[in-house]
């Protein structure tokens, strides 16, 4: 496998567009395109950045031999875009979609589970008006992604049905909680994200008219 093919494989497996990767590296999108078309080769500084970002040694990227190529494929055999699609399905079929709870994994915990082929999603939380929980995705019994969250109800007029309705609108560009903005009548949901799918943190809140009545912090990323 040629270097340009490896660079394209790694970018796609980590869920980056050329524009997103360029922003991450602080270079022009055209530079990424030239790398992947074989029109240019990354300088050492660029290779170091890519190695740190992808968790793959420079040797595995630049050497053209079977051993390195095999290791590279093993390191990158999970398509993050597919995982994101699975997470969205899982969320819509569990808590947000009024899915049935499964047996509690801990004393007094609320647990939800969704499985599709080699992927397994599990959401477990403790509490009610004040709560904390964790969502995890496994691929072939290996954990690959996790999100921890903690939140609380801080005002009157909170309804979990509105929160669930907002969470049903989870999207591919924000596959964490709900959309950036969701409104229904006097209820307003907002969600802010810093980072990307592989490493992020966020905050969601609900307002009733102008009063904040709910908030939740969350963070997580890809597990390797």
Per-residue pLDDT tens digits for 33-79: 999 999 999 999 999 999 888 888 888 888 776 444 544 555 445 67
- Domain of residue 214: give its range: 81-222
pLDDT at 2 over 90: no
The stretch 114-137 carries a mean pLDDT of 97
Give the separation between CA 90 and CA 176, rounded to whole angstroms: 11
pLDDT tens readout for residues 135-177: 999 998 989 999 999 999 999 999 999 999 999 999 998 999 9
Domain boundary among 39, 62, 77: 77
Quick one: 190 and 113 in the same domain?
yes
**Same domain assignment for residues 103 and 209:** yes
Q: Is the dihedral of CA 12, 15, 18, 24 positive or negative?
A: negative
* CA nearest to 94, candidates 110, 111, 112: 112
Q: Please name every residue paired with 143 in a beta bridge, in sequence order, or none if there are none.
A: 138
pLDDT at residue 59 in the model: 84
Q: For residues 126 and 107, give the distance between their C-alpha atoms in angstroms, rounded to a whole number.
A: 9
- Do 46 and 140 share a domain, yes or no? no
**Reported pTM:** 0.73
Average pLDDT, integer, range 170-198: 94
How many whole angstroms separate alpha carbon 19 and alpha carbon 22?
5
Tell me: do 181 and 202 sit in the same domain.
yes
Task: Identify whether residues 53 and 85 lie together within a single domain.
Answer: no
The total number of structural domains that make up the chain = 2
Pair 24, 131 in one domain:
no
């Amino acid at each position: 496998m040629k270097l340009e093919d490896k660079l394209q494989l790694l970018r796609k497996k980590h869920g980056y567009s050329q524009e997103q990767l360029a922003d991450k590296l602080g270079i022009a999108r055209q530079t990424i395109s030239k790398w992947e078309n074989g029109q240019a080769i990354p300088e050492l500084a660029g290779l170091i950045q890519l190695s740190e970002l992808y968790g793959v040694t420079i040797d595995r990227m630049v050497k053209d031999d079977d051993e390195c190529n095999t290791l590279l494929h093993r390191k990158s055999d999970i398509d993050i875009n597919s995982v994101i699609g699975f997470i969205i399905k899982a969320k819509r079929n569990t808590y947000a979609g009024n899915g049935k709870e499964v047996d509690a994994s801990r004393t007094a915990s609320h647990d939800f589970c969704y499985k599709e082929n080699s992927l397994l999603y599990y959401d477990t939380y403790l509490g009610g008006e004040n709560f904390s929980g964790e969502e995890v995705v496994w691929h072939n019994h290996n954990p690959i992604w996790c999100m921890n969250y903690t939140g609380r109800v801080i005002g009157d007029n909170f309804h979990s049905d509105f929160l669930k309705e907002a969470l049903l609108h989870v999207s591919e560009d924000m596959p964490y909680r709900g959309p950036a903005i969701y409104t229904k009548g006097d209820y307003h949901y907002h969600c802010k994200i810093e980072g990307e799918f592989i490493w992020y943190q966020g905050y969601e809140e609900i307002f009733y008219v102008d009063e904040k009545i709910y908030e939740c912090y969350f963070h997580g990323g890809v597990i390797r």
